[in-house]
């Protein structure tokens, strides 16, 4: 085979293809609001999506509702009496109504030996410098020396609207440390210690929040994408799935971010086991249920540096997704016993006495904290995205996601619904990103850069399809910004096809699509 050809095959993984539009008779109320409309007991906070950007203010007032705030893409948050929900949803000016449901952080207590957060091989010459990373979480400690000094370039509080960075819960500080802590101890150094943190607080002092605050933070990141070169958003949060991602406002906000050139990384959730301790499939949380989101499950490295014995953490949520039945997660990353920065005055620090690790680098050094969860796995992947964006700035979110899935290392004995394409492989992903960006096909150089082994999945999960092959090409329509991951075509109707794809400079080669 000509090594410049990319030969891929598509295998259907699920009966419902995510490129299919919602049915015309699909209910405009999500499942939670339908239940409230059937049994009214007060008023509900809702997110209303307008049909064709229709004005909704007067419509909400006539329904006895109170407007709360505007969101992106013609949406708004309002409080509406339960007995008016069905009537409001029946108006043709309304595209859909969704509950402004709670979101929570995805960290759990876990007694396990601490492990380093890096997983980054030496000698890559990358630290994320110049790349903006938006964390949508509970905030960040302004006092922790490993992340405060020079790492936080911008702060916005969507909860209490304070101007000064803080983290009353502590989860956001831990997540930020995994991404970008500049610690002298390599075991506590972030994956991308040179990255710029744009910290957007959407969770309160209990680690909970509202979907509308998360959406507002996503839209804020989009609006400030160029100002801070934001290339990736980390969402270590989970919300329930009550509707298709076609109508879910949080999933649609994530799609807006991807189309703006921002990779959206989300935790899969910690619902991989039922109360009886059995594997729980169909447990992926929102927004990780959306195809265009890079959804991360958690692995357990068993406290060894050798990744060959890593397994899927029992708590890690499993696919396929509820309602749409799309395969997830996309990949897994270490998420058990992760040690990273902590704020000793935060709630999560007080709640995890066995996870506290007090600093000994110098007198007065602030402590770190050992936590587990897909909340810890997601920022490892976010840090990897920052390194890839530094190494190959021209790559789109779809191309970066494809490279991470293609280079992931499958775990023997684990099914795809638990591990996706496999374990995060930072060295391999960066090596392939550089090769794809330069449009070269030097196999020997790729092998050397990848660490001498390419035990890769060699596949991507394109919505409800598995696409396999030997190479990832740069010039593919699938990577365009106007193509939603998993769809059959672009927003303008141009088809996404899989087949023999040629490097664009090759004489006589047809256009790669």
For residue 258, the cross-strand partners are: none
How do residues 247-264 score in pLDDT, each as one tens digit?
Answer: 999 999 999 999 999 999
| Token pair for 165 | 């960075």
The pLDDT of residue 55 is above 90: no
Indicate whether 190 and 261 sit together in one domain: yes
Rounded to 10 degrees, the C-alpha dihedral 346/349/350/354 comes to 180
The pLDDT of residue 510 is above 50: no
pLDDT for res 117:
53
How do residues 71-106 score in pLDDT, each as one tens digit?
Answer: 977 899 999 999 999 999 999 999 999 999 999 998
Indicate whether 293 and 335 sit together in one domain: yes
Report if residue 81 sits inside a domain. Answer: yes
Alpha helical stretches, state H, 39-127: 57-62, 85-89
pLDDT for res 365:
66
DSSP tag of 489: B
Query: Which domain-ending residue is among 356, 391, 426?
Result: 391
> Highest mean pLDDT range out of 91-105, 109-123, 362-376?
91-105
The mean pLDDT value for 457-483 works out to 90
Residues 100 and 133 sit within 8 Å (Cβ to Cβ): no
d(CA 323, CA 329): 15
How do residues 296-352 score in pLDDT, each as one tens digit?
Answer: 999 998 877 777 788 999 999 999 999 999 999 999 999 999 988 888 899 999 988
Indicate whether 292 and 224 sit together in one domain: yes
| Token pair for 328 | 């997830």
Greater pLDDT, 362 or 21: 362
Rg (CA), the chain: 22
Could you say which of 138, 236, 346, 375 is catalytic? Answer: 375
Report if residue 219 sits inside a domain. Answer: yes
Indicate whether 69 and 198 sit together in one domain: no
The range of the structural domain enclosing residue 61 comes to: 31-89
Contacts of 341 (CB under 8 A, 6+ apart): 141, 144, 146, 147, 173, 174, 176, 177, 181, 183, 188, 366, 368, 369
Confidence of residue 118 (pLDDT cuts 50, 70, 90): low
pLDDT for res 186:
63
375 in active site? yes
Report if residue 479 sits inside a domain. Answer: no
pLDDT for res 185:
65
Angle at 430 between CA 426 and CA 436, to 5 degrees: 145
The mean pLDDT of the chain is 85
pLDDT for res 1:
32
pLDDT for res 3:
31
Residues 369 and 355 sit within 8 Å (Cβ to Cβ): yes
pLDDT for res 5:
28
d(CA 320, CA 463): 11
Report if residue 11 sits inside a domain. Answer: no
pLDDT for res 63:
92
Query: Which domain-ending residue is among 391, 423, 440?
Result: 391
Indicate whether 183 and 67 sit together in one domain: no
d(CA 246, CA 254): 11
The pLDDT of residue 157 is above 60: yes
The pLDDT of residue 449 is above 80: no
Indicate whether 275 and 151 sit together in one domain: yes
| Token pair for 185 | 């101890």
Report if residue 284 sits inside a domain. Answer: yes
Could you say which of 144, 171, 174, 246 is catalytic? Answer: 171
Confidence of residue 508 (pLDDT cuts 50, 70, 90): very low
- Can you point out the beta strands (E) in 39-188? 43-50, 66-70, 75-81, 94-99, 102-105, 132-137, 152-157
Three-class HEC string of 327-350 = CCCCEEEECCCEEEECCCCCHHHH
Rounded to 10 degrees, the C-alpha dihedral 209/212/213/219 comes to 150
Indicate whether 169 and 71 sit together in one domain: no
Indicate whether 52 and 201 sit together in one domain: no
Confidence of residue 8 (pLDDT cuts 50, 70, 90): very low
Report if residue 382 sits inside a domain. Answer: yes
- CA-nearest of 125, 144, 140 to 197 is 140
Report if residue 22 sits inside a domain. Answer: no
The mean pLDDT value for 385-412 works out to 96
The pLDDT of residue 27 is above 80: no
Which range among 228-242, 244-258, 444-458 shows the weakest confidence by mean pLDDT?
A: 444-458
Which range among 16-30, 91-105, 247-261, 402-416 shows the weakest confidence by mean pLDDT?
A: 16-30
Contacts of 330 (CB under 8 A, 6+ apart): 294, 295, 296, 401, 404, 405, 420, 421, 461
pLDDT for res 187:
64
Indicate whether 126 and 272 sit together in one domain: yes
Greater pLDDT, 260 or 489: 260
pLDDT for res 7:
33
Three-class HEC string of 233-291 = EEECEEECCCCCCCCCHHHHHHHHHHHCCCEEEEECCCCCECCCCCECCCCCCECCCCC
For residue 267, the cross-strand partners are: 296
d(CA 369, CA 280): 28
Whole-prediction pTM value?
0.89
How do residues 58-72 score in pLDDT, each as one tens digit?
Answer: 999 999 999 999 997
Contacts of 506 (CB under 8 A, 6+ apart): 4
32-36 long-range contacts, CB within 8 A, separation 24+: 32/99, 32/101, 32/240, 32/242, 33/85, 33/89, 33/97, 33/98, 33/99, 36/82, 36/85, 36/99
Greater pLDDT, 148 or 252: 252
Angle at 220 between CA 340 and CA 393, to 5 degrees: 70
pLDDT for res 184:
67
362 in active site? no
Angle at 181 between CA 163 and CA 154, to 5 degrees: 25
Confidence of residue 384 (pLDDT cuts 50, 70, 90): very high
Could you say which of 137, 219, 300, 301 is catalytic? Answer: 137
The pLDDT of residue 359 is above 70: no
Percent of the chain beyond pLDDT 90? 63
Greater pLDDT, 403 or 109: 403
Number of structural domains (the chain) is 2
pLDDT for res 25:
33
The pLDDT of residue 121 is above 50: yes
167 in active site? no
DSSP tag of 391: H
Q: Which CATH number fits the domain that encloses residue 144?
A: 3.40.50.200
Query: Which domain-ending residue is among 352, 371, 391?
Result: 391
The pLDDT of residue 506 is above 80: no
Report if residue 224 sits inside a domain. Answer: yes
Give yes or no for a cis peptide into 488 (omega within 30° of 0). Answer: no
């Amino acid at each position: 085979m000509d090594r410049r050809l990319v030969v891929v095959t598509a295998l259907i993984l699920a009966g419902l293809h995510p490129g299919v539009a919602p049915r015309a008779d699909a209910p405009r109320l999500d499942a939670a609001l339908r239940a409230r409309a059937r049994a009214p007991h007060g008023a509900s906070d809702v997110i209303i999506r307008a049909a064709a950007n229709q004005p909704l203010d007067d419509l909400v007032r006539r329904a006895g509702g109170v407007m709360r705030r505007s969101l992106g893409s013609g949406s708004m948050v309002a409080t509406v009496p339960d007995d008016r929900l069905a009537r409001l949803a029946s108006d043709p000016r309304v595209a859909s109504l969704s509950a402004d449901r709670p979101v929570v952080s995805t960290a759990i207590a876990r007694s396990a030996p601490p492990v380093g957060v890096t997983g980054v091989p030496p000698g890559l010459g990358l630290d994320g410098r110049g790349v903006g990373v938006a964390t949508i979480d509970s905030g960040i400690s302004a006092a922790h020396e490993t992340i405060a000094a020079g790492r936080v370039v911008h702060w916005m509080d969507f909860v209490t609207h304070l101007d000064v960075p803080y983290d009353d819960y502590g989860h956001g500080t831990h997540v930020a440390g995994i991404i970008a802590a500049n610690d002298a101890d390599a075991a506590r150094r972030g994956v991308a210690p040179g990255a710029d943190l744009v910290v957007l607080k959407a969770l309160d002092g209990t680690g909970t929040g509202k979907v509308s605050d998360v959406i507002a933070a996503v839209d804020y990141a989009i609006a400030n994408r160029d100002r801070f070169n934001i290339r990736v958003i980390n969402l270590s949060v989970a919300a329930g799935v009550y509707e298709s991602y076609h109508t879910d406002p949080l999933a649609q906000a994530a799609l807006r971010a991807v189309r703006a050139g921002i990779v959206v990384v989300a935790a899969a959730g910690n619902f991989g086991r039922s109360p009886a301790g059995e594997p729980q499939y169909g447990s992926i949380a929102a927004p990780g249920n959306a195809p265009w989101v890079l959804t991360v499950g958690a692995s357990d490295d068993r406290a060894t540096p050798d990744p060959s014995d890593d397994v899927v953490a029992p708590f890690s949520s499993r696919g396929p997704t509820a309602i749409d039945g799309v395969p997830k997660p996309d990949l897994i990353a270490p998420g058990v016993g992760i040690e990273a920065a902590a704020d000793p005055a935060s709630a999560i620090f007080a709640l995890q006495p066995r996870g506290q690790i007090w600093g000994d680098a110098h007198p007065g050094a602030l402590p770190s904290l050992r936590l587990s969860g897909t909340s810890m796995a997601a920022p490892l992947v976010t840090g990897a995205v920052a390194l890839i964006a530094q190494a190959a700035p021209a790559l789109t979110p779809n191309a970066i996601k494809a490279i991470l899935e293609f280079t992931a290392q499958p775990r023997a004995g684990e099914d795809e619904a638990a591990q996706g394409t496999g374990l995060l492989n930072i060295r391999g992903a960066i090596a392939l990103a550089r090769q794809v960006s330069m449009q070269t096909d030097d196999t020997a150089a790729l092998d050397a850069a990848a660490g001498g082994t390419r035990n890769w999945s060699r596949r991507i999960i394109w919505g409800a399809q598995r696409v396999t092959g030997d190479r990832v090409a740069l010039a593919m329509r699938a990577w365009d910004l106007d193509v939603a991951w998993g769809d059959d075509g672009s927003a303008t109707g141009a088809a996404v096809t899989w087949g023999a794809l040629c490097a664009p400079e090759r004489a006589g080669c047809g256009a790669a699509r």
